[in-house]
Structure 1
Amino acid sequence: MASLKNKVALVSGAGSGIGRAIAISYAQEGAKVVVADINEEHAVETVKLITDTGGEAIAVKADSSKAEESKKLIDEVVQRFGRLDIACNNAGMGGPAKPTAEYEPEEWDQVIDLNLNGVFYACKYQLAQMEKNGGGSIVNIASIHGQVAAPNSPAYTASKHAVVGLTKNIAIEYAQKNIRCNAVGPGYIETPLLTANLNEEGLKAIAAKSAINRLGTVQEVADLVVFLSSDKSSFTTGAYIITDGGYTAV
């Protein structure tokens, strides 16, 4: 049975990787999906993957780091589908790899603007619409580095810790308005970005960081997000659930 039948879902950063897998999984579970990405071509590709298998989706170009574009995105969702039931805020970036003292302010700002401010902007407008609907579910994609350090990635680590905190605040503030908010913390996941930048030896080294001794798959993350987005997790809010193959257990 489709767990998201008749729901309207929005996914940011859905043009590739984890975001694409989430968008496709939402559609497979019966949701009408709005695929948002700063790269419109990639968003259209995701939509085609959905519609070619009988799903319903539209692509919207949006820069998650800008408040006005987050508002416009919700306006487009409502104009097309009349409501918003589910949102997954997935758009993010890693930033330069360097120690804290060597980070330039503009580099810091770029990461924080997308990874933290972007999630706040998204939630702000999603929450307002979900209140009109009478409820909804938000899933914010954080990281294992919402809990542990990522040396030489101070902005990334700070932003992901902050996303976890923001998620918990929203969950408490909106629990009695029938709006749930949870965060997912992926570990090292096999995505095109990862495989394109590391050789086989590098990939094996990263895989060995988890107790399971392999990289995670985008589908494994998507399956968890679908669960948190559906009524099957109706008593779960304010949670930060890690999917990392045991990386943070030691």
Structure 2
Amino acid sequence: MTIDFTGKTVLITGGSRGIGKACALLFASLNANVIITYNTDQDTAERTLTELGHSGNHGLYQLNQSQPKNVERFFNKVLQHYPQIDVLVNNAGVYIEHKINEVTYEDWLQSWEDTIATNLNGVANLCFFASRHMIHNGEGKIINISSRGAFRGEPDHPAYAASKAGLNAMSQSLAVTLAPHEVSVHVIAPGFVETDMTSELLSSEAGEAIKKQSPYNRVATAEEVARLAAMYASPGMEFTTAGIIDLNGASYLRT
């Protein structure tokens, strides 16, 4: 099976590093036009854009998706330069520690507000504009990056777990609504993933314990998540819509 995205445009939020960067590099290597967003680190984003090469019509945009008006302005701007968005990969998110027995009430409220605004509301708004565009075009793929935390919980990051559980439910609801329009919605739920942001933790004693959660004695690579995203985005995978695929190396099992 050969996957080729020639002529297709893929939008990846949080595409400058980690899972998003791995997705961007893979889709670009498969001949897609790749659009990546970043929130604050423009230098890193520009380096990633350079790594995508010059063979496609790649683009870079700043986006703080926690603000609804930002999402609307972003889509209007992107669609001035790209006639069609074929795939949306919702990868951007925040992971804020807020232990209920340690933080103040003010910090507790702020952590919930910031997390839900980005991880759930922001993704919902991106799905709104992308799906309206895809319905008009008669096809499209939305791939949402969730987490095993949606199922097992995140004791030190409860808002993150709640946001990802909400993301799962929203994705399945949208899948039902959008299927008659040939737009499919897919969810990937990784466990720990080795990225530049987790490398220090994973190289520590605590990291060794995290790796041992899987019988493979390791965590996922960002490239493994990217390959699954590319598979979902390819033709012929539409009937997997509403599915939530675990990618955690059997570190957490559910039925």
Aligned to 2:97: 96
Return the match for 1:45 from 44, 47, 50.
47
Aligned-CA RMSD value: 1.6
Query: By how many angstroms is 1:166 displaced?
Result: 0.5
Structure 1 runs not aligned, ≥5 long: none
Q: What one-letter code is carried by the residue in structure 1 that aligns with 2:137?
A: N
2:109 matches 1:105: yes
Q: What one-letter code is carried by the residue in structure 2 that aligns with 1:167?
A: S
Aligned to 2:218: 214
Q: What one-letter code is carried by the residue in structure 1 that aligns with 2:94?
A: M
Separation in structure 1 between the aligned mates of residue 167 and residue 29 of structure 2, nearest angstrom: 28
Percentage of pairs with the same residue: 28
| TM-score, normalised with respect to structure 1 | 0.94
Structure 1 residues 74, 100: CA separation in 2 closer, same or farther (over 3 Å shift)?
farther
Q: What one-letter code is carried by the residue in structure 1 that aligns with 2:224?
A: E
2:13 matches 1:7: no
Return the match for 2:141 from 134, 137, 141.
137
Separation in structure 2 between the aligned mates of residue 63 and residue 165 of structure 1, nearest angstrom: 23
SS for the counterpart of 1:235 is helix
Query: By how many angstroms is 1:232 displaced?
Result: 3.5
Structure-to-structure mapping, 1:52-63, within 5 angstroms: 54-63=55-64
Structure 2 runs not aligned, ≥5 long: none
Query: By how many angstroms is 1:100 displaced?
Result: 6.8
Q: What one-letter code is carried by the residue in structure 1 that aligns with 2:57?
A: E
Aligned to 2:239: 235
Aligned to 2:200: 196
Separation in structure 2 between the aligned mates of residue 101 and residue 227 of structure 1, nearest angstrom: 42
Aligned to 1:183: 187
Q: What one-letter code is carried by the residue in structure 2 that aligns with 1:106?
A: Q
Q: What one-letter code is carried by the residue in structure 2 that aligns with 1:182?
A: H
Q: Is the 8 Å Cα contact of residues 146 and 157 (structure 1) preserved in structure 2?
A: yes
Q: Is the 8 Å Cα contact of residues 139 and 182 (structure 2) preserved in structure 1?
A: yes
| TM-score, normalised with respect to structure 2 | 0.92
Q: Is the 8 Å Cα contact of residues 37 and 63 (structure 2) preserved in structure 1?
A: yes
Query: By how many angstroms is 1:133 displaced?
Result: 1.2
Separation in structure 2 between the aligned mates of residue 57 and residue 46 of structure 1, nearest angstrom: 11
